[in-house]
Amino acid sequence: MNGHSKPFRRWRRRHMNRYAPKPNPFSLSGVEARVPRHAISPLRKSLLRCSVAAVAMSVPGVVAADCTASGSTLNCDGGEAPAVNGGTGTTVNVLPGAELYSTLEISDTGSSELNNDGRLDGSVVMSGNDSIVINNNGEIQGTVNGTDNVTFRLNNRGSIAGNLNFSGTGSNTIVNFADGSVSNGITSIGNSDDTALIRGTFAGAINLGDGTDHVELLAGNISTSIDMGAGDDYFNWVTGSISGGFTMGDGDDRAIFVAVSEASLTDGLNVEGGQGDDTLTLVASTNATEAGRGTAPQNFIEWETINLTDSTELRYIYTTGYLTLGDAGTGTGQLTIDETSTILAGDSFGYGIQAYDASQAATVYNAGLIDMTNDTPASGFSLHDTFTVRGNYVGQDGRVALHSYLESDGAPSDMLVIGGTDGSGTGSSSLTISNVDGLGDMTTGDGIKVVDAIDGATTASNAFALSEPVAAGIFEYQLYRGGINANPETDSDWFLRSGYTPPDPDPDPTPDPDPDPTPDPDPTPDPDPDPTPDPDPTPDPDPDPTPDPDPTPDPDPTPDPDPNPQPVIPSVRPEIPGYVVKPAIAQRMGIEAIGTFHDRQGDQFLLNSFGDFPGSWARVFGKSFDQSWSTHIGKLDYELNPGAEGQIGGFQVGVDFIGDPYDDGSQDRAGMFFAYTTANADTLGNSLGRIDVGVGSADLQGLSLGGYWTHIAPNGTYLDAVAMYSWLDGDSGSDRNISADIGGYSVLASLESGRPYTLNNGWLIEPQAQVIWQRVDLDDTEDPFTSIDYDRFDTWTSRVGVRVERDTFVNKVPTQPFATLNLWHTPDDDYTVSFNGLPVTTNLEQTSLEIKAGASAQFSEAFSGYAALLYGAGIDNDQDNTSFGANFGFRLRW
């Protein structure tokens, strides 16, 4: 043998017959026998372990093994590798630090085991055993070969430089632990059932051949490819990586990928199911990055069923491509998206899912999300993403996310496409629309297409709905199946429309005609005998006349168009009326806060305290109101008719800084006050194609500081001047919790005068006049769908009134009951609110009558009070304007 000296080789030739095996080998049972290297016959290369534990040589040559036998166990610490042939079972231990060269063979035994803690420089051959287990914690420099073993198991925690080769029909199990490595791969031929659990590294290809094979890649690494071979195979991949191809081979196979990321998949890696009915389940996995690293869905090949589960993301990369389901045998398949998983299909010129056989329909079950918004479009004009299901799309409460350019008819949009003569869109799905740059506009035709049914595909009437409001500017886009006119090309398409066409009104019923009266029967005449007729003369034959030519038929007349087509009206968002009326509410809130002289002071006769700080006063007021305004939407010639129903209330606290009397009985009063005012209202208007409906609410608060000066003449005539500044803050929104914060300020100035005239029996009548200037300036704001720009505006409000009162006593308390009739008028002033640049103008013109009734009382020299109830109603017919309220106040003398 190579490596031995010439003297040794001569010794071997001279003594080879001396140590030839005898017919009766000695027993090793129960004893330990050490076989030195020089004592082993040169006719044998290995140890033969028989059922009686005899030692024999089986191959000519010299064995350099230095092994200790103990029962059925061999402990080897160096030299040539032993060969074990026959017997019920043997355990071979290669001890730590031992190095065996040449091939180690165990064959035709019962249950045997090789434990390698050293180094095997040669190969390992295991054949014909009932059961064989290799526990490799050291090094195997050659290959590991298993042939026709009933069961074979390799537990590798060390390194194997060669390939793992198996043949036959048995069962082979390879467990490669995290610290194990195989520099090559696995090759299995025949029809064995192979199982591989891979945690470490396989540098070579894994080819498992025929049989029912089971592979689990558990955070391991396969540096090349894996081929499961023919048979009904199972592959479980939990993290780890495969650098080359992946195929399950023929058969009905199952593969599960758990927490597999794009880093685990080589760019462009094919994942093949092979022929048969194959199922791939992705669990919490991703296939590619946004930058295109990983493998595309187009590389998932020949799978009949693909399941996306537990937050899996299947990302399409490149610019086009289809995931193809099925193979040449099955023709098609299905893909299922569970409620946590997503298909990412943005930034494409055409992604989708199709069947292997173009004549068949693929099926997509969507309980999760198909997302075409995972890109950043350059502008709304550049939207082009499509996701096509060539077959059946079945919504299972799933979602489809799209980018759309929310403008008028035909604006660009991403689309879900359903195609094929047998294709259909059924189930229940919601569309989530993200606006890109659209300012909003009214559609007057079919609208913006978002679902396209092509090549004869159909969709159910309830297949799609919007997941959330779709809006831009003032416009709400609603989802419709089919165009505005019946057309087989568009009847199963789905469109976004911001214009609403009311249905034609039912025609007036045609009255039933009065029945004709039944005529009286004619009397029966007396019968006359029939006369004998004369014979007919024989007529002369006339030549046949030449027929007239057929006249040319008139063409079918063009039908007259509908003489009264229903106009398209804008679908206005329910938030818009509330945003529009907010300045008008601020204007009205200011009027209520500044009030009138009698609202704040009660009456002239109560102003009888003088000094450095003549007195202070306070009042509480509240009013319910129901008011609407005339509002016109820019270019649309459409009346919004917004309104508000709610309450305005607050309080004021003031103090007189000046209370100077004059010798002639007149006096001047001046002071300052603080006020808090709040308005809460339900908002109404024309919205979503409906007329005068409740849409939301508006809240506004004001903190005010004001000053006043009042001059009272000896005859009771007063001149009252007031100025007030208010800080405003509030919000307005719809019943669906979409709102905008709105703040700003208002400034008011009021000038009022009145003169009492004495009548009989203590009665007085007091004509009054008041004019109020007001400026309202609300801050520009926004909500999720529009910018909201408020123009500053000024308005004038005037009042003329008459107050009737009587001086009397009630329980010795000087009391003055009164009643007041006021005519309020706001002229033709207006203001504008712009939504994404579209102006909406509101006219503030209002005229109303107001009736007040109450009393003032001087309870003591230091304390007086007053109270009133009021009712108001508009007297113009264009808008609603009613109110009911109360005012309570008191004065306190210091």
pLDDT in tens, 427-442: 999 999 999 999 999 9
The whole-angstrom separation of Cα 840 and Cα 473 is: 11
Q: Is the pLDDT of residue 137 over 80?
A: yes
Whether residue 427 is found in the same domain as residue 368 = yes
pLDDT tier, 550 (very low <50, low <70, confident <90, very high otherwise):
low
For 8, phi then psi, to 5°, come to: -65, -40
Q: Given this model, what pLDDT does residue 565 score?
A: 59
Q: Which residues contact 691 (CB under 8 A, 6 or more apart)?
A: 641
pLDDT tier, 506 (very low <50, low <70, confident <90, very high otherwise):
low
- 879 domain residue, yes or no: yes
Tell me the pLDDT tens digit for each residue of 43-57: 333 333 333 333 332
Whether residue 680 is found in the same domain as residue 718 = yes
Q: Given this model, what pLDDT does residue 381 score?
A: 76
Whether residue 195 is found in the same domain as residue 303 = no
- 736 domain residue, yes or no: yes
Q: Which residues contact 409 (CB under 8 A, 6 or more apart)?
A: 443, 444, 445, 446, 447, 448
Q: Which of 366-375, 419-428, 870-879 has the lowest mean pLDDT?
A: 870-879
Q: Is the pLDDT of residue 25 over 50?
A: no
What string of H, E and C letters represents the secondary structure of 330-373?
CCCCEEEECCCCEEECCCCCCEEEEECCCCCCEEEEECCEEECC
Q: Which amino acid is at 86?
A: G
Counted residue by residue, the chain has a size of 894
Helices then strands, counting H and E runs in the chain, come out as 3, 71
Partners of residue 73 on adjacent β-strands: 70, 91
- 48 domain residue, yes or no: no
Token code pair at residue 523: 């009397």
Q: Which of 26-30, 210-214, 516-520, 860-864 has the lowest mean pLDDT?
A: 26-30
- 56 domain residue, yes or no: no
The residue-averaged pLDDT of 367-377 equals 94
pLDDT tier, 378 (very low <50, low <70, confident <90, very high otherwise):
confident
Q: Given this model, what pLDDT does residue 818 score?
A: 96
Among 501, 521, 554, the domain boundary falls at 501
Q: Given this model, what pLDDT does residue 264 score?
A: 85
Tell me the pLDDT tens digit for each residue of 193-214: 899 999 988 898 999 989 999 9
The residue-averaged pLDDT of 727-737 equals 96
Q: Given this model, what pLDDT does residue 508 score?
A: 57
Q: Given this model, what pLDDT does residue 505 score?
A: 61
Among 447, 474, 501, the domain boundary falls at 501
pLDDT tier, 38 (very low <50, low <70, confident <90, very high otherwise):
very low
- 494 domain residue, yes or no: yes
Neighbours of 32 (CB within 10 A): 11
- Say how many domains are in the chain: 3
Q: Given this model, what pLDDT does residue 893 score?
A: 81
The DSSP-derived string for 543-605 is PPPPPPPPPPPPPPPPPPPPSSPPPPEE-B-TTHHHHHHHHHHHHHHHHHHH--HHHHH--GG
Return the closest-CA partner of residue 273 out of 318, 317, 329, 220.
329
Whether residue 825 is found in the same domain as residue 885 = yes
Average pLDDT, whole number, for the chain?
86
The residue-averaged pLDDT of 780-794 equals 97
Whether residue 340 is found in the same domain as residue 367 = yes
The whole-angstrom separation of Cα 781 and Cα 784 is: 11
Q: Given this model, what pLDDT does residue 717 score?
A: 95
CA distances from 859 to 407, 809, 811, 815 (A): 68, 11, 10, 9
The whole-angstrom separation of Cα 123 and Cα 742 is: 83
Q: Which residues contact 181 (CB under 8 A, 6 or more apart)?
A: 156, 158, 159, 160, 200, 201, 202, 203
Q: Given this model, what pLDDT does residue 534 score?
A: 53
Q: Which of 12-16, 31-35, 196-200, 301-305 has the highest mean pLDDT?
A: 301-305
The residue-averaged pLDDT of 263-291 equals 92
Query: Which range of residues forms the domain containing residue 697?
Result: 612-893
Q: Is the pLDDT of residue 786 over 80?
A: yes
Tell me the pLDDT tens digit for each residue of 628-654: 999 999 888 899 999 999 999 999 999
Q: Which of 90-94, 96-100, 359-363 has the highest mean pLDDT?
A: 359-363
Q: Given this model, what pLDDT does residue 57 score?
A: 29
pLDDT tier, 659 (very low <50, low <70, confident <90, very high otherwise):
confident
For 54, phi then psi, to 5°, come to: -80, 155
Tell me the pLDDT tens digit for each residue of 606-615: 786 655 557 8
The residue-averaged pLDDT of 444-472 equals 97
The residue-averaged pLDDT of 819-848 equals 95
Among 251, 279, 303, the domain boundary falls at 251
- 820 domain residue, yes or no: yes
How large a percentage of the chain has pLDDT more than 70?
85
Whether residue 275 is found in the same domain as residue 242 = no
Whether residue 306 is found in the same domain as residue 352 = yes
Q: Is the pLDDT of residue 28 over 80?
A: no
CATH code for the domain of 811: 2.40.128.130
Rg over alpha carbons for the chain, rounded to the nearest Å, is 50
Whether residue 287 is found in the same domain as residue 241 = no
Q: Between these two residues, 820 and 661, which has the higher pLDDT value?
A: 820
- 352 domain residue, yes or no: yes
Q: Given this model, what pLDDT does residue 243 score?
A: 87
Whether residue 850 is found in the same domain as residue 717 = yes
Whether residue 336 is found in the same domain as residue 446 = yes
Whether residue 484 is found in the same domain as residue 356 = yes
The residue-averaged pLDDT of 96-120 equals 91
Whether residue 671 is found in the same domain as residue 622 = yes
The residue-averaged pLDDT of 607-625 equals 81
- 7 domain residue, yes or no: no
The residue-averaged pLDDT of 501-516 equals 61
Q: Is the pLDDT of residue 15 over 70?
A: no
